Amino acid sequence: MTPIGVFDSGFGGLTILRDLRRALPGADFLYLGDNARAPYGSRSFELVYRFTLQAVKYLFGQGCPLVILACNTASAKALRSIQQRDLASIDPERRVLGVIRPTVEAIADSTTTGSVGLFGTPGTVASHSYDIEIEKHAPGTRVFSHACPMWVPLVENSEADGDGADYFVKKDVDALFDPHPDIDTLILGCTHYPLLLDKIRKYVPTGVTILSQGDIVAKSLIDYLQRHPEMDARISRGGTVRYLTTESADKFDGLASEFMGEKVKATAIRLE
């Protein structure tokens, strides 16, 4: 089997996987969540790079010809080095793609005020990856970023529906929108954040468009596979999805099953 690999620090990449499966129902997928070491958002550049490279090598070892980093933090801190430095020595025929570039390409079509808000992990915000990419693709757009360090831990600890989540979501939404009422487009620049979408919608001012990264990344992958038929032909088409986690499988299965709307039975692995 030669599935599409989908990697995230934990549960967040499931929000991307769900849309990828909808877009490519015939393809095989292999999901890997590094739940034991999540969150990545407050970790150093060096660590996120090292952990992400381990995950990519593992997924290549499982037969994936293509790996999607379904994680903004890994896309911001590790993607470029892996693409430009590591791939040539690991296997120049395989590919690793991220989520930031396709998201940025969708922004230009969405904003009319030219003011865009970004929620992300501390690592993604500090990397300025979105600012740099937006300046290339939609020059002149103003990006107001705000880091939400509590949101990923809330999701990873199954607290996304709790009252504590309301407190932190409201606090961060107000911190971004109170000083910048002209923001008309909001990027959820962390794949965990759609798991808090109901609460985010509750506090974000009406009329603001919230960009859904799953949908954007799925469309971009279809486009990529059309432009690269040699890669398209290498992906096996059994319509299966398998799950790997670095935490205990039981812990993963509960929340993942709830989110994917079907029974998930993960296999625990070690990354090193």
124 binds ligand DGL (CB under 6 A): yes
Catalytic residue (choose from 59, 104, 190, 200): 190
* Alpha-carbon gap, residue 228 to 238, rounded angstroms: 20
Amino acid at 49: Y
Give the x/- contact pattern for ligand DGL in 165-204, rule: CB under 6 A: -------------------------xxx------------
Q: Does residue 114 come out as left (phi exceeding 0), alpha (psi in the -120 to 50 range) or beta?
A: left
Q: Which 5-34 positions form the footprint of ligand DGL (CB under 6 A)?
A: 8-10, 12
Instruction: Give me the residue whose beta carbon is nearest to ligand DGL.
Output: 41
**Residue entry with tokens 């799950």:** 243
**Residue entry with tokens 């300025």:** 128
117 binds ligand DGL (CB under 6 A): no
35 binds ligand DGL (CB under 6 A): no
Smallest distance from the beta carbon of 209 to ligand DGL, in angstroms? Answer: 19
C-alpha atoms less than 13 angstroms from C-alpha of 102 in its C-beta half-sphere: 24
* Alpha-carbon gap, residue 130 to 72, rounded angstroms: 10
218 near 23, Cβ under 8 Å? yes
Q: Which of 91, 83, 144 is nearest to 115 (CA)?
A: 144
Catalytic residue (choose from 20, 32, 69, 71): 71
Smallest distance from the beta carbon of 36 to ligand DGL, in angstroms? Answer: 12
Smallest distance from the beta carbon of 112 to ligand DGL, in angstroms? Answer: 27
71: annotated active-site residue: yes
* Alpha-carbon gap, residue 259 to 116, rounded angstroms: 28
Instruction: Count other C-beta atoms under 10 Å from residue 175's C-beta.
Output: 14
145 near 120, Cβ under 8 Å? yes
Nearer to ligand DGL, 75 or 141 (CB): 75
Give the x/- contact pattern for ligand DGL in 140-169, rule: CB under 6 A: ------------x-----------------
Nearer to ligand DGL, 11 or 58 (CB): 11
Q: Which 39-98 positions form the footprint of ligand DGL (CB under 6 A)?
A: 39-41, 71-73
* Alpha-carbon gap, residue 209 to 216, rounded angstroms: 14
Nearer to ligand DGL, 189 or 235 (CB): 189
Smallest distance from the beta carbon of 34 to ligand DGL, in angstroms? Answer: 8
Catalytic residues: 71, 190
